[in-house]
Amino acid sequence: MAGFFTVSIIQSAMELGCIYALVALALFVSYTTLNIADLSTDGCFTLGCAVGAIVTLSGHPFLALFAAMGAGVISGFVTAFLQTRLGVESILAGIIVNTALYTINIMVMGFSSNVNIFKASTLFSIAHDLLEGIPLMGSWYKLFVVLIIVLTVGILLAWFLNTMLGLSIRATGDNPSMVRASSINPAFTITAGLMLSNSFTALSGAVLAQYQKSCDINYGTGMVTIALASLIIGESLIGRGSMLTRILGVIFGSCLYRFFVALALRLNIPAESLKLVSAVIVAIAISFPYLKSKIALYRQMQEAKQRHGEHK
C-alpha cells in the first residue's frame, strides 16, 4: 500500500479534498438542510475562482477570498430571488443563473476563458515563506492552509446552524407545513440559506485558483455532482451525531472521494477519462445506501426461504 500510495499522492488528495469540501458544505446547506438542488453550483464555483484569481492578481490574496465570497453571496441572492419572489422552480432558477454566470465569469476574467496568476503572491506562497525552516512543515504548508480554512468554515457553520436563523433554515427544509404555522418567512430563510451556501462554493473556487495558480472557465464543470458525491459519502459514513460531527463527516467524505480519484489515476486511467471516472464514482456513492438496503432485504428473504425449507 505504501508503495502504491506515495506520501505526495495522499497529501494532494487531502489538499484537494479540503478545498472541494467547501462545495460539499455548501450543498450540505442547500441540499441536505434546505432540500433545494442548487444547480448554479458549477457557475458559482467558477465565479469564485475568477474573482479570486483577479483580486489575487492585483496583490490582495486575503481580500480575494472575501471578494469571492461576496460574489457568491450575490449569485445566491439572485438564485433565491428567482425562486422566492418570481415563482421560478428551484431547479430552473439554478440552471438560469448557471447559464448567466458563464458570461459573467468570462467578463470577470477580462473576456478571456482563463487567467494565470503564477507570479502573484497567494496564501500558499505566504504560508510557504512564513513556515520555512520549521521542521516537518516543508511540504505540508498547503494542507495546513486549506485545513485552517475548511475547519474555520466548518466550525462557524456548526455554530450558525444552532442559532435562531440557522434553526429556522433547517426547519424550512425539514417541514414546510410547520414553517407555515410558525413565524418563519420561507422566502427569507431560503434567501439567507442560498446566500450562505453560495459563499462557500465561491470561496472554494477562490482557494482553488490560488492553489492551481490559475483559473479556467471549465474548472466548475461537474462540480455539483462531485460535491454531491462527497456529501453523500460523508453523510452515509457519519450521518448522525451533533452538527459539528456531521460537518466533519462531510469534510471527511470529500477527502475520501479524492482518494478514490487518486486511486483511479494510479490505475493508469488516462486523464481525459477522469470525468467519466468521477461520474461512475458519483453514481456508486449515491446509489450505495439504496443498494445496501436492497441487499439487506435480499438476504432477509434468502434466510426466510431457508428457514421455510428446514420446516418442510
Partner 1 sequence: MLELKSVSKTFHPGTVNEKQAIKKLSLILPEGDFATIIGSNGAGKSTMFNAITGNFFVDEGEICLDGEDITFVPEYKRSKYIGHLFQDPLLGTAPHMTIEENLTLAYLRASSGNKGLFRMVKAEDRERFWKALKTLDMGLEDRMKQPVGLLSGGQRQALTLLMATMVRPKILLLDEHTAALDPATAEKVLAQTEKIVKEQQITCLMVTHNMNQALAMGNRTIMMDSGRIVADISGKERENMTVDGLLELFRKNVGEGLDNDRILLSGLN
> Residue 99, interface with partner 1 (CB under 8 A)?
no
Q: Which is nearer to partner 1, 158 or 263 (CB)?
A: 158
Binds partner 1 (CB under 8 A): choice among 183, 290, 308, 309: 183
First to last CA, the chain: 50
- For residue 214, the cross-strand partners are 116
Q: Is 84 in the site for partner 1 (CB under 8 A)?
A: no
Report in angstroms how near the CB of residue 26 gets to partner 1 at its nearest: 19
Q: Is 165 in the site for partner 1 (CB under 8 A)?
A: yes
Applying CB under 8 A, the span of 40-48, 67-75, 170-178, 257-265 interacting with partner 1 comes to 170-178
Using the rule CB under 8 A, which residue among 103, 152, 182, 306 binds partner 1? 182
Residue closer to partner 1 (CB basis): 113 or 175: 175
Which range touches partner 1 (CB under 8 A), out of 88-96, 104-112, 173-181, 220-228? 173-181
**Of 169 and 207, which CB lies nearer to partner 1 in the complex structure?**
169
Give me the DSSP letters along 189-214.
Answer: HHHHHHHHHHHHHHHHHHHHHHHHTE
Let me know: does 210 contact 52? Beta carbons within 8 Å: yes
CA distance 75 to 85: 15
Pick one of 175, 218, 300, 306: the residue that binds partner 1 (CB under 8 A).
175
The residue count for binding partner 1 (CB under 8 A) is 21
Among 46, 168, 201, 254, interactor with partner 1 by CB under 8 A: 168
Alpha helices in the chain (DSSP H): 7-27, 41-57, 61-84, 90-108, 123-131, 141-160, 164-174, 176-181, 186-212, 223-237, 243-266, 274-311
Q: Cβ of 5: how many Cβ atoms within 10 Å? A: 14
DSSP reduced 3-state for 115: strand
By CB under 8 A, name the binding residues for partner 1. Answer: 160, 162-165, 167-168, 170-171, 174-175, 177-178, 180-186, 188
